[in-house]
Homo-oligomer: A and B are copies of this chain.
């Protein structure tokens, strides 16, 4: 947990709360470490601006229902569950029209409210997801990032499309896998890191490039560029070049976050090309979750190659260090193995 406004996370005692009438108390079994958790650990500008310690971080989890409020009917103690970490206000235009992932007053697990890097976590029943028995714990604790990848991919039609994925971090790699088994045509992956390039091939990329280069992409597509471009890097240079790789009339989905402003030649790169661009945030509740459930139970290989580190929970700092060193794709922490 983050106890003070500074670098680091510490182990501390977290009180176990009694769930409210519509809440579910979950005993956490496994959690994933997200880039967001690393930002909180490192206490960067974003974290310092958003986080109010003390806070338990973490939002990727699987666990067992321990207790439920009186108004909870969806699950019962003993059920294996994960959960959606975006908790909308429920009353605004977004929340009432199927866009609660974009609610302006959203509370995010492990960011605005107490997260899952703890023995127990509490969520409203409306955010709880009962896990299909065909999906194992390692996959189930990663519904959240896998859902980001799914939401990004499914924000435009992909059947038979030639797709450029810029940035092969964990979510980019998951997107490549989803495209590969989901009916896309050629998948072209971009990342300068040879380890990530190798993983991209394992996930099903047909072509791997060092950078987003318009001429190179046009050569490997048989239209005048990619039909669809997924920006998963947040890297300013890659971002701009990636727009040059999209064919006229193409579609773009943006997930990668940059810390700075990025300029485009909008006339040339967007307007005359007739592009459509989607900003991607969270997961569509709960269409994305049903899609994730389907893909995960049919294709376990969509996550398995990406878990490079499995650690007991009390060694979470080793996991963060592995991420910082670039050696890790996904780190999964096991609470049951932890010595706490």
Contact = CB atoms under 8 A, between A and B. Distances in A.
Interface in A162-216: 181-183, 185
B280 A271 contact: yes
Given A93-B224, A183-B182, A248 B103 contact: yes
Contacts of A255: 271
Interface residues of A, number: 71
Interface string A80-108: 00000000001111101111011110000
Contact of A97 (B270, B287, B294): B287
Contacts of A261: 263-266
Interface in A307-328: none
A294 B160 contact: yes
Contacts of A262: 263-264, 266
Nearest to A295: B160
A184 to B, nearest CB: 8
Given A224-B104, A254-B266, A267-B258, A274 B21 contact: no
A335 B274 CA distance: 34
Chain A interface main SS type: loop
Interface string A20-61: 011000000000000000000000000000000000000000
A74 B92 CA distance: 10
A99 B249 contact: yes
A194 to B, nearest CB: 26
A75 to B, nearest CB: 10
Nearest to A182: B183
Interface string A295-306: 100100000000
Contacts of A248: 94, 99, 102-104
A94 B254 contact: no
Given A223-B92, A248-B94, A271 B254 contact: yes
6 contacts: A93-B223, A93-B247, A93-B290, A99-B248, A263-B264, A275-B277
